[in-house]
């Protein structure tokens, strides 16, 4: 009997050991990933700038759960190339994706940099994750068959009223030459349930309450605060017009900007700051943007509530990011589309296991770091093609704070570098801008020719990308004449019309 009992005990021990080492149990030790992108969101949210008393309690809630980067910068101040950079882990200067590229054309044999690339969600799938996605994650939604489960994307940025409330979408632009945008603002529709982002949140919430036999990657792309700045009236009511501030503005600010910079800033389809001032619309545009922020904050809160109520609350990594900043009157217009601070800076927040809570980091970082950071925090092997640097040790141990910098690219060989409180911009023709944020946070005075800053400028020049690929043949941006001209010139292509896939998508 003793021998039988001993044998039974040995078998039981082996059984327990084998059970613990099954693939499902091992996989479940990896954290889930909740990947949230918010379109056109600048740093006005309350955990960062708290501009004009914006009401964003759920952004604050997420900030308290983890780490907030107050000085994060995108790799392109335009949604298509910015998102392609995050998802490929490559710089625009490496891929030549400087404009809008159809999701299914990013990876193809015609582009040597991306022909064999593994997109961020795919890397997680290849390492045992169940992947899901809804909304705007790439430029439109995602390449075909990207996710195990896809909720797709509602076309456009509606809902729209039958007639525009304020702006005609063309401004000073010429029909047939310049693109027409969705830029407009006002209270519409009547209910949150009519907003595409509400349906996307519902889809994600339902999946947070499911059971999975392996870790999951869930991508959620919110459309707001992208124009048109339409949300229900109650979100406008939270921001009374009389309490609205306007950002700092200097008439004549662009007098010391090089010609290429002025061409890039030529946006005839967008409202100008002078127009908004003269027509009494500036505060109304700000109010609409803040209303959209508060609305997206509400949808974020619904997601955080669902995660908290799920079985995955303690084992899920969250990253929230935006594809670029947004100018609300700074530098003369209402748009992204620039290499200045207000266009390149955007929120970046991480939360989850083994990360500090309520920490803020002011060092400049790149959205390019999202891919390698998620891999390291998830315990996955590094992806050799990633050009970004993981932020895990910066968050956990403050490693690399003093060496940190960020590069933004807009078109071929136009770059901005943010480091040590300075912004250096170099255009394709060698013309430069330089700003010392310690004395000029609004970037009103170009000090590129000031000998006082010669050594600082030379040090930043060293960081410029060594590779400046020609435009990817499938990448276009037709809303600004400069980018059409540049692609034609550098690629030697015939100047022919292309189907616009820009701001109206």
**Across 18-22, 26-30, 38-42, 185-189, least confident range:** 18-22
Assessment of whether the complete model's pTM goes beyond 0.75 = yes
Q: What is the CATH number of domain 27-410?
A: 3.40.720.10
What pLDDT, in 10s, does the model give residues 116-134?
999 999 999 999 999 999 9
Please list, residue by residue across 131-168, b when 16 or more beta carbons sit within 10 angstroms of its beta carbon and e when fewer do: bbbbbbbbbbbbbeebbeebbebbeebbeeeeeebbbe
pLDDT attached to residue 475: 97
**Confidence check: pLDDT of 366 > 50:** yes
pLDDT of residue 24: 33
Residue 445 known to be catalytic: no
First and final CA of the chain: distance in angstroms?
A: 76
Catalytic residue, chosen from 73, 79, 130, 226, is 79
Lowest mean pLDDT segment, chosen from 40-44, 205-209, 464-468, 493-497 = 493-497
Q: Which residue's entry shows tokens 């296991």?
A: 353
139 labelled catalytic = yes
pLDDT in tens, 36-67: 999 999 999 999 999 998 999 999 999 999 99
Identify the residue with better confidence: 195 or 179. 195
Exposure letters 195-231 (e unless 16+ CB within 10 A, then b) = bbbbebbbbbbebbeeebeebbbbbbbbbbbbbbbbb
Q: Tell me the two tokens of residue 184.
A: 């407009």
> If you average pLDDT over every residue of the chain, what do you get?
92
- Which is the catalytic residue, given 73, 139, 178, 324? 139
| Rounded Cα gap, residues 371 and 167, in angstroms | 38
Of 184, 183, 207, 187, give the one whose Cα is nearest residue 195: 187
**What are the angstrom distances between the C-alpha of 485 and each of 111, 140, 286, 414, 471?**
21, 25, 33, 14, 11
- What percent of the chain lies above the pLDDT cut of 70? 92
**pLDDT at 443 exceeding the cut of 60:** yes
Residue 494 confidence (pLDDT)? 54
């Amino acid at each position: 009997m003793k021998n039988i009992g001993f044998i039974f005990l040995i078998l039981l021990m082996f059984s327990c050991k084998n059970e613990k080492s099954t693939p499902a149990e091992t996989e479940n030790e990896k954290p889930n990933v909740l990947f949230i992108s918010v379109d056109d969101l600048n740093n006005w949210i309350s955990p960062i700038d708290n501009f004009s008393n914006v009401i964003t309690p759920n952004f604050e809630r997420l900030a308290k759960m983890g780490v907030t980067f107050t000085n994060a910068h995108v790799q392109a101040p335009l949604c298509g190339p910015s998102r392609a950079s995050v998802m490929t882990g490559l710089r625009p200067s490496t891929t030549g994706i400087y404009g809008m590229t159809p999701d299914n054309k990013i990876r193809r044999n015609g582009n040597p940099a991306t022909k064999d690339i593994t997109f961020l969600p795919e890397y997680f799938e290849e390492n045992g994750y169940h992947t899901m996605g809804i909304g705007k994650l790439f430029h439109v939604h995602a390449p075909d068959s990207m996710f195990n489960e896809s909720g797709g994307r509602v076309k456009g940025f509606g809902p729209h009223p039958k007639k525009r409330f304020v702006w005609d979408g063309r401004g000073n632009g010429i029909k047939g030459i310049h693109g027409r945008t969705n830029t407009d603002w006002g209270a519409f529709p009547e209910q949150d349930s009519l907003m595409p982002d509400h349906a996307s949140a519902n889809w994600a919430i339902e999946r947070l309450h499911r059971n999975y036999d392996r870790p999951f990657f869930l991508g959620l792309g919110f459309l707001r605060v992208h124009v048109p700045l339409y949300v229900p009236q109650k979100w406008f009511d939270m921001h009374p017009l009389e309490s609205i501030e306007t950002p700092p503005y200097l008439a004549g600010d662009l007098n010391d900007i090089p010609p290429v910079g002025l061409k890039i800033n030529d946006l005839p389809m967008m409202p100008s700051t002078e127009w908004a001032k003269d027509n009494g619309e500036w505060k109304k545009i700000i109010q609409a943007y803040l209303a959209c922020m508060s609305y997206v904050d509400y949808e974020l809160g619904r997601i955080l509530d669902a995660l908290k109520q799920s079985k995955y609350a303690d084992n899920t990594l969250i990253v929230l990011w935006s594809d670029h900043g947004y100018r609300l009157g700074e530098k003369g217009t209402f748009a992204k589309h620039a290499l200045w601070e207000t266009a390149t800076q955007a929120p970046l927040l991480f939360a989850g296991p083994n990360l500090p809570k309520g920490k803020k980091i002011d060092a400049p970082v790149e959205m390019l770091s999202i891919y390698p950071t998620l891999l390291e925090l998830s315990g996955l092997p590094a992806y050799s093609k990633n050009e970004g640097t993981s932020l895990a040790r910066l968050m956990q141990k403050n490693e690399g704070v003093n060496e940190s910098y960020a590069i933004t690219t807009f078109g071929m060989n136009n770059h901005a570098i943010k480091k040590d409180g300075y912004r250096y911009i170099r255009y394709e023709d060698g013309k430069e801008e330089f700003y010392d944020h310690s004395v000029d946070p609004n970037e009103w005075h170009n000090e590129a020719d000031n000998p006082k800053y010669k050594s600082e400028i030379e040090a930043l020049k060293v960081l410029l990308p060594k590779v400046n690929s020609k435009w990817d043949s499938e990448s276009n941006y037709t809303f600004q004449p400069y980018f059409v001209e540049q692609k034609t010139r550098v690629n030697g292509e015939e100047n022919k019309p292309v189907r616009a896939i820009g701001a109206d998508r």
